[in-house]
Amino acid sequence: MKRRYFGTDGVRGLYDGPVINAVFVQQLGTAAGRWLRTNERWKAEGGKRLVLIGRDTRFSGPALGKAVGAGLMSAGFSPVSLGVVPSPLVSRAVCTQGAALGVVITASHNLAMDNGIKFFGSAGIKLTDEEELQIEQQVDYVAPPPENAAGAALFPVLTDAVRDYIHAVAHLLPPLSLAGWRIVLDTANGATCGTGLAVLHELGAAVTAIGNTPDGRNINAGIGSEHPAQLCATVRTTGARLGIALDGDGDRCVLCDECGEVLDGDEILTVLAVHALRHGTLAKNILVVTEQSNLGIDDAVQAAGGRVLRTPVGDRYVSERMRAEGAMLGGEPSGHIICAEVSPTGDGLVAALKVIEVMGATGKPLSELRGELRKLPQLARALRVREQLPLGELPSVKAAIRAVAAELGARGRVLVRYSGTEPKIRLLVEGEDALKVQAGLDRLLAAVRTDLLVESGTRGPMGGGTRGPMGGGTRGPMGDGGTRGTFF
């Protein structure tokens, strides 16, 4: 059975739209509470009632936080606010505080007009597709709440979790080990404005902060991991050793080397995996990535004695495969990096500190370390569409996929899929010949425009000639009932 509301990373949409509004979110909170009460694991863990709610800096966050909390209260749970905090902090706090559930009000890297909700189970891990479906099945049985019921809900605030997170992350490196380091930190006017700066200062770094003046409406606006141009420029002008750009809820990052050039998630993962393999510390010698990651990762990891496992797009699926295989490192090109020995979910700041640890251990600058990955030419593009028609019903697109895949040969691939978090179709072409890759992408774009109504003002090619696809990665099967992406 297909999910109706949940996508690849929770429920997400336009604020005050058909789904992300106070009435529905209160019903979703009630449904989540009802699902917990029928969950055998919840019963086995003693029927815990504490639920932790965090949010990013969006103007709609307080109202939606109250709404979901009111719904949880109606189901017999005790919601507590964490305030404005990154998603990985909520994941950690669920475990350290012994909560039954964690809730984050965020639309991640989207702009402020969107918002959403994602849940963490009692182990600090995102819920599975099946668990989200079970929550959805409870929504239909929830009576509409009284008008303005959510507006009156007030919950106690838990501040210990913030101090605990800052302390734990700062202790990933030796005390004051970043003294003498100039670092540029871009927090996307989002949830890490306080915690990110606090951690780097505790380690002794001299920090130039950008994207740290949230006003409720400027989250991710031309800033953060999706828009690293200002980060790169600031690194160049300040002479910083590196730059760190996080997204709105802090679960992903991209880095900038001392030359002002961006490293995406594939490059970060390769630096971490190859270093660990050379020192015999990569668990099971496995790196888990998604089908979007550049094929150059496989070459680099195999040359160092490891192996790469691939999953559908979405950090939850990376996490699930890591647990199944006993792996401790995995992630996505978008910068979702899971260092499972530290956190069961993606944490952009943790990933950045892990790379800094490699820089310190090797004495090499980031511009040299990034050379571990030699990417195959890869281009990606996202187009906003009016309707996500089944891919199997798009004759021009199907024909273009077959033709481009044949032209690229055995060392090439094509990925066409719909986003599960935005009204977009995402295209990826990769191969050994850059000219064939460009021609293939052009052919796919023309086919999409033939078969689908494409909205004007669609963003152009992302990241330049061979950069990997941007984030917002979503699995083939979409939470809104879409079709699986086509991959060759």
For the domain covering 164-262, report its CATH number.
Answer: 3.40.120.10
With tokens 């209160």, the residue in question is 26
Amino acid at 163: R
Task: Look at residues 347, 184, 158, 359 and name the one whose alpha carbon lies nearest to residue 256.
Answer: 184
pLDDT (0 to 100) of residue 2: 79
Q: What is the per-residue pLDDT across 74-105, written as a single tens digit (0 to 9) for each?
A: 999 999 999 999 999 999 999 999 999 999 99
Question: What architecture (CATH level 2) is domain 11-158?
Answer: 3-Layer(aba) Sandwich (3.40)
How far is residue 447's CA from residue 397's CA, in Å, rounded to a whole number?
Answer: 5
Q: Average pLDDT in the 20-35 region?
A: 95
Query: What's the first-to-final CA gap in the chain, in angstroms?
Result: 26
Any idea which residue has 């951690």 for tokens? 199
- Give the per-residue pLDDT at 370: 97
Domain 378-487 belongs to what architecture? 2-Layer Sandwich (3.30)
Q: So what's the pLDDT on residue 67? A: 95
pLDDT of residue 157: 84
- Are residues 411 and 378 in contact, defined by beta-carbon separation less than 8 angstroms? no
Q: Let me know if the fold of 11-158 is the same as that of 164-262.
A: yes
Sign of CA dihedral 311, 312, 318, 324: negative
User: From its phi and psi, is residue 60 left (phi > 0), alpha (psi between -120 and 50) or beta?
Assistant: alpha
pLDDT of residue 142: 56
- Please give the pLDDT value at position 268: 98
407-431 tens-digit pLDDT: 999 889 999 998 877 789 999 999 9
Average pLDDT over residues 185-209: 98
Sheet bearing 286-290, strands edge to edge = 307-311, 286-290, 329-331, 337-339
Burial of 204 (0-12, 13-18, 19+ CB in 10 A): middle
Of 112, 108, 34, 105, nearest to 64 by C-alpha is 105
Token pair listed for 344: 């069961």
Residue that wins the pLDDT comparison between 482 and 177 = 177
Q: Catalytic: 343?
A: no
Q: What is the mean pLDDT of residues 238-244?
A: 98
User: In terms of pLDDT, which residue wins out, 44 or 463?
Assistant: 44
Predicted pLDDT of residue 144: 54
Q: What mean pLDDT is predicted for residues 63-79?
A: 95
Model confidence pLDDT, tens digit, residues 353-364? 999 999 999 999
Percent of the residues in the chain that have a pLDDT greater than 90, as a whole number: 83
Say if residue 206's pLDDT is above 90: yes
Note the pLDDT tens digit of each residue in 164-178: 999 999 999 999 999
Q: Which of 60, 74, 108, 293 is catalytic?
A: 108
- When mean pLDDT is compared across 12-26, 149-163, 205-219, the lowest value belongs to 149-163
When mean pLDDT is compared across 82-91, 252-261, 311-320, 462-471, the lowest value belongs to: 462-471
State the chain's mean pLDDT as an integer: 90
Give the per-residue pLDDT at 463: 33
- Looking at residue 474, what is its pLDDT? 28
Task: State the burial class of residue 130 (Cβ atoms within 10 Å of its Cβ: 0-12, 13-18, 19+).
Answer: exposed
**Distance from chain centroid for Cα 114:** 15
Asked if residue 422 lies in contact with residue 7, where contact means CB atoms within 8 angstroms, the answer is no
Let me know: does 151 contact 174? Beta carbons within 8 Å.
no
Q: Which residues contact 146 (CB under 8 A, 6 or more apart)?
A: none
In the predicted model, what is the mean pLDDT of residues 382-404?
A: 93
Look up the CATH superfamily of 264-372.
Alpha-D-Glucose-1,6-Bisphosphate, subunit A, domain 3 (3.40.120.10)
Is the pLDDT reported for residue 15 higher than 90?
Answer: yes
Q: Which residues contact 40 (CB under 8 A, 6 or more apart)?
A: none
Please compute Rg for the chain using Cα positions: 22
Which pLDDT score is estimated for 451? 93
Q: 466 to each of 89, 271, 375, 461, how far by Cα in Å?
A: 33, 18, 7, 10
Give the residue extent of every domain in the chain: 11-158, 164-262, 264-372, 378-487
- Map the chain to HEC letters: CCCCCCECCEEEEECCCCCCCHHHHHHHHHHHHHHHHHCHHHHHCCCCCEEEEEECCCCCHHHHHHHHHHHHHHCCCEEEEEEECCHHHHHHHHHHCCCCEEEEECCCCCCCCEEEEEEECCCCCECCHHHHHHHHHHHCCCCCCCCCHHHHCCCCECCHHHHHHHHHHHCCCCCCCCCCCEEEEECCCCCCCCHHHHHHHHCCCEEEEECCCCCCCCCCCCCCCCCCHHHHHHHHHHCCCEEEEECCCCCCEEEECCCCCEECHHHHHHHHHHHHHHCCCCHHHEEEEECCCCCHHHHHHHHCCCEEEEECCCHHHHHHHHHHHCCCEEECCCCCEEECCCCCCCCHHHHHHHHHHHHHHHCCCHHHHHHHCCCCCEEEEEEEECCCCCHHHCHHHHHHHHHHHHHHCCCCEEEEEECCCCCEEEEEEECCCHHHHHHHHHHHHHHHHHHCCECCCCCCCCCCCCCCCCCCCCCCCCCCCCCCCEEC
Q: Give the pLDDT confidence score for residue 4 in this predicted structure.
A: 86
Q: Which pLDDT value is given to residue 460?
A: 34
Q: Is the pLDDT of residue 148 over 70?
A: no
157 CB contacts (<8 Å, ≥6 apart)? 80, 81, 82, 83
pLDDT number for residue 3: 83
Closest CA to 264 of 341, 337, 315, 168: 337
- Within 8 A by CB and 6+ apart from 377, the residues are 430, 431, 432, 433, 434, 437, 465, 466
Question: In the structure, what pLDDT confidence band is assigned to residue 454 with cuts at 50, 70 and 90?
Answer: confident
pLDDT of residue 140: 72
User: In percent, how much of the chain has pLDDT > 70?
Assistant: 90
- 189: alpha, beta or left, given left = phi > 0 and alpha = psi -120 to 50? left
